[in-house]
Structure 1
Amino acid sequence: MTMPTVIGTDRLELGEGIRWADGRAVLTDILSGRLLSAPGRPAAPLARITQLPCPLGAVAPIEDRPGHWIAAAGTGICRIDPAGRVDWIARPEDDAPVPMRMNDGVADPQGRFWAGSMAYEATEDAGSLYRMDRDGRVTRVLRDITVPNGPAFTADGTVMYLADSARGLVRRYPVDPVTGDVGEPVPHITFSTGSPDGMTTDAEGGLWIAVWGVGQAHRYHPDGTLDRIVELPAAQPAGLCLGGPDGRTLLVTSARIGLSRPGPLDGAVFAFRVDVPGTPAAPYRPERTKSPAPTDPDAAGDTAVRPDSP
């Protein structure tokens, strides 16, 4: 078995949200609220970009604004500037009946940002999936998810893959690329061992998934059949992306949380060479307006969330 390269000297509590952006890998240690970047040398520590006073699930770069991020953090979605200042856009989980936090998130090819929420105690069906449109409107598009991970999108943005990790299930959703409306899902991949976690797509439409609990990353063909398994020396792979100068480096985060006797590489970040390249993380592309569009509380099938005041 070809062993992956270990990137950095850190061992993260809950490494997640890894993305290739601005020519580097950025990732989060969720519960500590840290946004990190991978070092240029494998033996160097991860570099801290910023740290929030709340959990930080994932980020997307903001188009044409280097160092600025849209983030799934705390109980909602915010902007982070290069100085680490936070501008909250919406906090839809503030009034949830159980304590909640944001988890994974990603920008789609059309420039919208999608992020999932979950209960701290992984309460069944407590989580939701939110979409932030380019005009700043935040809408709950899916509910009754226990632990959402992903999503990942096809290159044209017409298909979304979303994991409900606690159920061991990845669903495939049709998406209207113009409006962002989500259609009826179909079960795509079911896991009998391990749980699907972070995911990404490649140039051939393949779907890579980090499989929590079994120390593996899987690649699936677009029809959902298994193509390849990468073995990792960590029990809980959590997030992954494709990056590097040629897009052919699979980067995988892992976690130490919940392990009674973590091994020396649990919580590490790994790199593994693959044949099919990916693409850099899609940016959030805000409309060039002065303020967010008004919410639409009567949106069919969706729940609009009023953005916080600037």
Structure 2
Amino acid sequence: MDTPAQRWTTERFQLGEGLRWTPSGLVGVDILTGRLLALDTEAPVRPVRILAQLDGPLGAVAPVRGAAGRFIAATGPGVAVLTVGADHDLQVEWLARPEDGAPTAMRMNDGCCDPAGRFWAGSMAYDETEHAGALYRVDPDRGVHRVLEGYTVPNGPAFSPDGGLMYLADSADGRIDAYTVTADGDLDGGRVFARVSEGGPDGMQVDAAGHLWAAVWGASRVHRYTPDGRLDRVIALPAAQPTSVCVVGAETPHLFVSSAAIGLEPGGEHDGAVYRAAVDVPAPPAAAFGAPS
């Protein structure tokens, strides 16, 4: 096990998540407070800058191709495009609200784009009803499709550098699945890629060498897996509930890790903070929504 990571923020977030390296810098969310946050990658800054405040939960965002200050977002019961103005005014354009009226109260959770510019995001029940969650795909033409069902707490997804492989975790079941992604965005060949014996895999990212990084909720650590599913690196954290990961920097790459304080009463002083650790392989920035030119 590696040396514990450095604490990067003095602030503690309720449910910090969704770290992404974007043209707007390193962004993340505090899901249940609906805040879109910007983090400085060179020096810890307090307070963390708030880019936008939504009325409901905000699961994750991805940049919109060629549109500074615009993000596609997994938020509330669906997917929306957010436009953040220079003075932090916010416009919300809903693309779909597929979880409105579900038998149990649902919200969107984690999400990201693949290299082809499609946005993928999962949904989950507030009370974590078993198998109530689903995975949605938003195509560049803004069509929204329900593509997988039966997950309880879907997290990720994350994509191989060429976009041909998708990893999707079910945190409640302690597993990470892998799917082949066709050119049209269909999924094939689902299989279990890895399981964790303690806690549950949460937010994930694939680096430039094809390693899968996964935050492990409830286990105070981050795992890195080789492309064949072998655990080859562990980073320890003083926070009990790591939630998402993001590698930043090409010359001297660092892994940033968010965490959550929710459900920990009273919780430790480190729970809910963001952490940083040096790593040996860079990762591409977050893929953008929209067809590549």
**TM-score band, normalised by shorter chain:** over 0.9
Q: Give the corresponding residue for 1:166.
A: 172
* Aligned mates of 2:5, 2:249 — CA distance in 1: 14
Q: Give the corresponding residue for 1:248.
A: 253
Q: Give the corresponding residue for 2:26.
A: 25
Q: Give the corresponding residue for 1:37.
A: 38
More strand by share: 2
Letter in 2 for 1:282: A
Q: Give the corresponding residue for 1:4.
A: 5
* Aligned mates of 1:4, 1:73 — CA distance in 2: 30
Within a 5 Å distance, the mapping from 1:39-188 to structure 2 comes to: 39=40, 40-82=42-84, 83-176=89-182, 178-188=183-193
1:263-286 Cα distance to aligned partner (Å, 9 max, x none): 111000011110011111000015
2:269 to 264, 267, 275: 264
Within a 5 Å distance, the mapping from 1:147-296 to structure 2 comes to: 147-176=153-182, 178-244=183-249, 246=251, 248-285=253-290
Q: Give the corresponding residue for 1:306.
A: none
TM-aligned CA deviation for residue 43 of structure 1:
4.1
In the alignment, is the contact (CA less than 8 A) between 1:8 and 1:41 conserved in 2?
no
TM-aligned CA deviation for residue 248 of structure 1:
1.3
Letter in 1 for 2:128: A
Structure 1 residues 245, 38: closer, same or farther in 2, change over 3 A? farther
In the alignment, is the contact (CA less than 8 A) between 1:23 and 1:245 conserved in 2?
no
1:117-171 Cα distance to aligned partner (Å, 9 max, x none): 0000000000000000011100000011100000000011110000011010100
Give the unaligned 5+ runs of structure 1: 289-310
Q: How many residues align?
A: 287
Q: So what's the TM-score if we normalise by structure 1?
A: 0.90
Between 201-210 and 7-16, report the one with greater CA deviation. Answer: 7-16
* SS class of match (1:9): coil
Identity %: 51
Between 13-22 and 43-52, report the one with greater CA deviation. Answer: 43-52
In the alignment, is the contact (CA less than 8 A) between 2:250 and 2:283 conserved in 1?
no
Give the unaligned 5+ runs of structure 2: none
* Aligned mates of 2:95, 2:225 — CA distance in 1: 35
In the alignment, is the contact (CA less than 8 A) between 2:7 and 2:273 conserved in 1?
yes
* SS class of match (2:19): strand
Root-mean-square deviation (CA, aligned residues, Å) is: 1.4
1:153-192 Cα distance to aligned partner (Å, 9 max, x none): 001111000001101010010110x200001301110112
* Aligned mates of 1:287, 1:213 — CA distance in 2: 38
